[in-house]
Amino acid sequence: MLKTGILTIMAAFFLTSLDAIGCTSLLVTAGASADGSTMITYTCDGEFHPHLEYLPAQKHAVGDSLEILDWHGTKKGKILQVRHTYAVVGMMNDHQLAISETTFDGRPELENKEGMLNYFDLIVLALQRAKTAREAIMVMTHLADEYGYGATGETFSIADTKEVWIMELIGLGPGRKGAVWVALRIPEGYVAAHANKARIGEFPLNNPDNCLYSDKVISFAVEMGYFNRDGGKPFRFCDVYCPPTPKNQRYAETRVWSLFRRAAPSLNLSSDYHRGVPGAEPYPLWVKPDRRISLADVISLMRDHYEGTAYDMTQGIDAGSYNSPYRWRPMHWIVDSIEYAWERPISTQQTAFSFISQSRGKLPDEVGGVFWYGVDDTYTTCYFPLYCSITRIPHSYSVGELKKFSWESAWWVFNFVANFANLKYSYMIKDIQAVQTDLESDFLQLQPLVEKTALQLLDSDRALAIRYLTDYSVNGGERVTKAWTNLGEELIRKYNDGYVQDSTGRPKEKGYPEEWLKTVVKQRPEQFRLPRISPDSVESRLID
């Protein structure tokens, strides 16, 4: 019997993101978090309309198969189904296992376009088939070997209630099934990060508790001419399979640097490496934060335009008259035959969706796993909780399409607010943050009470506890969408035609910041200058 639909649905989750490899992930171990939870994050950057999905747990008959589709919905083949699959909410399953990714091209010649499984297939299949991070690693790598891997290089963040792992994987090239890979467990008390560039360097060959790898990860590099065993240098996965360049250092490592500089300011990490300074030391794979990181801290870390640094995107003439941190694509541009590039921040306007997973071993799975979800830019989104045991998702996050605006779609509502704010960013961002703070603070403050109630219900009636958490999660999502719809309408009223209405509704002229006006005058001093009229001239006119 052929089972279809599961990966058909999930393909829509990523559909049209082919050209978008801009993603960021922060990994937080239980020993580094304030509440003992493991956390991973994900920003999925790309101009596409995501659909949040729920996949129920299912039993399957012996011999059942699963149809695999490509990004465009074309059938690629089928794989053997397992007897039981776990429920999945977004990118977290009902055993509190969460997985995210960032793509690195690395070696384009190693992409096997005939490979059946793409990275999103591996993620969804692992979430449906694994309870722990270690199991997920085995599921993903075995599937790639058996059915072929069809994408470029990939870095995965994988977290369960106890362990957090980073795994990097890349294919073997056209006509070759399988992949080479290495996975490292993040040490307790540390945080790691990646953003579209391979980051695992040297790794232990005899430490299976903390390091897993494919048996040909080194020999294949030698075969391809990427690595010389007699060259006197240690084998570093990131250097061999994703050689550093000034472009990918600027593109990816600046994000990593900013996460680390904020989590561990005492390290005083230099900007030299992400600026491509020759001989600069690469950033460590993980760092110990200066203090334990809370969920609220993680949310804050994922909101970043390099504020307060030399690369602060809210400053300079490129930020416009109202200090906007956004730079429109393309990122690279040429003036007088010299190539330049805008900064690439963690918070970016073309993020489709993002999440923060929270996995807590001290709580039952039904209550312990929380998938904090938001759409559009991390800086202007609002995260709300989805418990991993729920059986429904908010309607407004599951509908809509890129080619048609709709107030029914949360993604479109958030995009409307964020895009409108660009007209007077330094003013409107404060209105957005006020609503954002109120909602997110409510969710964070209510969390202990909601979970206490759910735990009490769980003792006597599991189904009722799950229904309670489902209702809370769904209502929370719809509450956010409604609040953002109201916010959009309020911004139009308050900032109509460039004015700023006061509390009585009277429009006030606010003009432009003085520094920006000085720049305008400097560039075109004569165009806007008004001629001075001497007092004598005015007096003579009055006499005449």
Taking the C-alpha atoms of residue 493 and residue 420, their distance in angstroms, rounded to an integer, is 12
pLDDT band at 542 (very low <50, low <70, confident <90, very high): low
Q: Would you state the pLDDT for residue 72?
A: 83
Residues of the domain holding 515:
507-543
Q: Return the structure tokens found at 501.
A: 């209405």
Does 513 map to a domain?
A: yes
Give me the mean pLDDT over the 197-214 stretch: 98
Q: Does the pLDDT at position 396 exceed 50?
A: yes
Asked whether residue 394 carries a pLDDT value surpassing 90, the answer given is yes
Q: Is residue 166 part of a domain?
A: no
User: Among 428, 423, 415, which Cα is nearest to 352's?
Assistant: 415
What are 504-538's pLDDT values in tens digits? 999 999 999 999 999 999 999 999 999 988 766 65
Within a domain: 529: yes
14 pLDDT more than 80: no
Q: What's the CA angle centered on 411, arms 407 and 412, to 5 degrees?
A: 40
**Of all residues in the chain, what percent carry a pLDDT higher than 90?**
91
| pLDDT score of 251 more than 60 | yes
pLDDT number for residue 21:
60
Confidence of residue 12 (pLDDT cuts 50, 70, 90): very low
pLDDT band at 543 (very low <50, low <70, confident <90, very high): low
| Residue 245 within any structural domain of the chain | no
Q: Please determine, for residue 357, whether its predicted confidence score (pLDDT) is greater than 80.
A: yes
pLDDT score at 376: 98
Q: Which residues, 6+ apart, have CB-to-CB distance to 463 below 8 Å?
A: none
Question: Can you give the three-state secondary structure of 465-500, one letter per residue?
Answer: HHHHHHHHHHHHHHHHHHHHHHHHHHHHHHCHHHCE
Q: Determine, yes or no, domain membership for 466.
A: no
Residue 10 has pLDDT above 60, yes or no: no
Q: Does the pLDDT value for residue 19 go beyond 70?
A: no
Report phi then psi at 339, rounded to 5. Answer: -90, 140
Residue 8 has pLDDT above 50, yes or no: no
Least confident of 103-107, 156-160, 285-289, 463-467: 103-107
Is the pLDDT at 165 greater than 90? The verdict is yes
302's CB contacts (< 8 A; 6+ apart) are 24, 26, 41, 43, 346, 347, 354, 356, 378
pLDDT level of residue 544 (50, 70, 90 thresholds): low
Whether 530 maps to a domain, the answer reads yes
Could you tell me the end-to-end alpha-carbon distance of the chain, in angstroms, rounded to an integer? 102
Q: Does residue 514 sit within a domain?
A: yes
In a domain, 135, yes or no: no
What local confidence, expressed as pLDDT, does residue 540 receive? Answer: 59
Q: For residues 192-196, give the mean pLDDT.
A: 98
Mean pLDDT on 354-374: 98
Is 27 in a helix, a strand, or coil? strand
Cα angle 373-374-376, degrees, rounded to a multiple of 5: 150
pLDDT value for 16: 39
Based on C-alpha coordinates, what's the Rg of the chain?
Answer: 26
* pLDDT tens digits for range 327-353: 999 999 999 999 999 999 999 999 999
Q: What is the pTM of this model?
A: 0.95
pLDDT digits (tens, 9 = 90+) for 269-322: 999 999 999 999 999 999 999 999 999 999 999 999 999 999 999 999 999 999
Query: Is the CB of residue 384 less than 8 Å from the CB of residue 474?
Result: no
The answer on pLDDT for 4 being more than 80 is no
**Spatial separation of the C-alpha atoms in residues 255 and 378, rounded to whole Å:** 14
Beta strands in 143-302 (DSSP E): 153-159, 164-171, 179-185, 191-194, 211-213, 286-287
Mean pLDDT of the residues in the chain: 94
Report, as an integer, the average pLDDT of 394-404: 97
Q: Domain count of the chain?
A: 1
Residue 541 has pLDDT above 90, yes or no: no
Residue-wise pLDDT for 69-81, tens only, equals 987 888 999 999 9
